[in-house]
């Protein structure tokens, strides 16, 4: 399993980074494809959704990504809100009162997806590489430190395999990777990048725990089987999906990417 995981990462990571570097439209198409598959995986977990409705939810997520690529923020949020409200209302009409997990599918998938498009457009490939460095090395560090050290469990009710040692190890490697990437591309290091890298690392781990909780609740080992050694698309991108909105918020508030912060 470990070797399969490593081989998959060695093949897919360079391709992902190349598309990030190339930017629009290549990266945007990639994000749209990820959103489509992730929405399908997310909506199958509770076992109650028909194929027609899952297709519509996936289409809404892809439409939001494409709208962000073509026409900017305003129409994107309209699509997300209308699609979400439509799902909620459809449940009430169909006799499923209250809030159900699938009603969160559109914002859960689409908001981080359009956030990635925004970071790429506003912050450029350097900001995207920084985000990916923090997220990926947090994940890798947590995995290896957790296996090597073990010790007290981080959240046994949610994910029995995650440990405090793994979490802290992931935090350290995530921060180090983010700072190392910035140094490598000539961005002067400052305390703000240490703090921001730490924030993204923590959000990455929260995203991982959230997806672990979903899989535990609905008794899934993996969200899917598309990526050998990793499981589904949600399994691979859960941390990035949690960190992406914060990265987009930083690009918006600070008016640019890491080179201008």
Give me the tens of pLDDT residue by residue for the chain, a chain 261 residues long.
555 666 766 778 899 999 999 999 999 999 999 999 999 888 887 666 677 788 889 999 999 999 999 877 789 989 999 999 988 888 777 777 666 777 888 999 999 999 999 999 999 999 999 999 999 999 999 999 998 998 999 988 888 889 999 999 999 999 999 999 999 999 999 999 999 999 999 999 999 999 888 888 877 776 666 666 557 888 889 999 999 999 999 999 999 999 998
Residue 35 included in any domain? yes
What is the pLDDT, as a whole number, of residue 102? 77
**Which of 126, 188, 138 lies closest to 166 in space, CA to CA?**
138
> What per-residue confidence (pLDDT) applies to 98?
65
Q: How many CB atoms lie within 10 A of CB 129?
A: 20
d(CA 250, CA 144): 30
What does the pLDDT read at residue 232?
Answer: 80
The C-alpha atoms of residue 102 and residue 46 are separated, in whole angstroms, by 8
Beta bridge partners of 155: 159
Pairing of strands 159-163, 153-155: antiparallel
Q: Is residue 227 part of a domain?
A: yes
Assess if residue 68 is contained within a domain. Answer: yes
The verdict on residue 217 lying in a domain is yes
Residue 258 lies in a domain: no
The reply to whether 260 falls in a domain is no
* Structural domain range at position 141: 2-253
- Is 94 domain-assigned? yes
Is the pTM here over 0.85, yes or no? yes
What are residue 8's DSSP bridge partners? none
State how many domains the chain has: 1
């Amino acid at each position: 399993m470990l070797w399969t995981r490593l081989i998959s990462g060695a093949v897919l990571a360079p391709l992902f980074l190349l598309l990030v570097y190339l930017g629009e439209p290549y990266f945007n198409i990639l994000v749209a494809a990820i959103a489509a598959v992730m929405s399908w995986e997310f909506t199958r977990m509770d076992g109650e959704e028909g194929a027609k409705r899952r297709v519509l939810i996936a289409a809404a997520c892809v439409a939001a990504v494409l709208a962000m690529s073509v026409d900017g923020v305003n129409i994107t949020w309209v699509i997300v809100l209308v699609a979400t409200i439509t799902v909620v209302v459809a449940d009430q009409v169909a006799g499923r009162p209250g809030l159900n997990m699938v009603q969160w599918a559109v914002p859960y998938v689409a908001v981080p997806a359009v956030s990635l498009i925004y970071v790429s457009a506003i912050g450029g490939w350097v900001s995207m590489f920084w985000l990916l460095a923090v997220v990926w090395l947090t994940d890798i560090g947590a995995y290896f430190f957790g296996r090597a050290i073990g010790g007290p469990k981080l959240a046994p009710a949610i994910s029995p395999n995650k440990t405090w040692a793994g979490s802290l190890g992931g935090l350290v490697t995530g921060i180090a990777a983010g700072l190392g990437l910035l140094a490598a591309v000539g961005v002067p290091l400052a305390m703000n990048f240490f703090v921001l890298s730490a924030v993204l690392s923590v959000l990455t781990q929260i995203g991982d725990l959230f997806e672990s909780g979903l899989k535990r609740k609905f008794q899934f080992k993996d969200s899917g089987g598309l990526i050998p050694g990793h499981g589904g698309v949600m399994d691979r991108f859960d941390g990035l999906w949690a960190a992406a909105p914060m990265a987009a918020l930083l690009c918006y508030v600070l008016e640019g990417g890491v080179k201008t912060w």
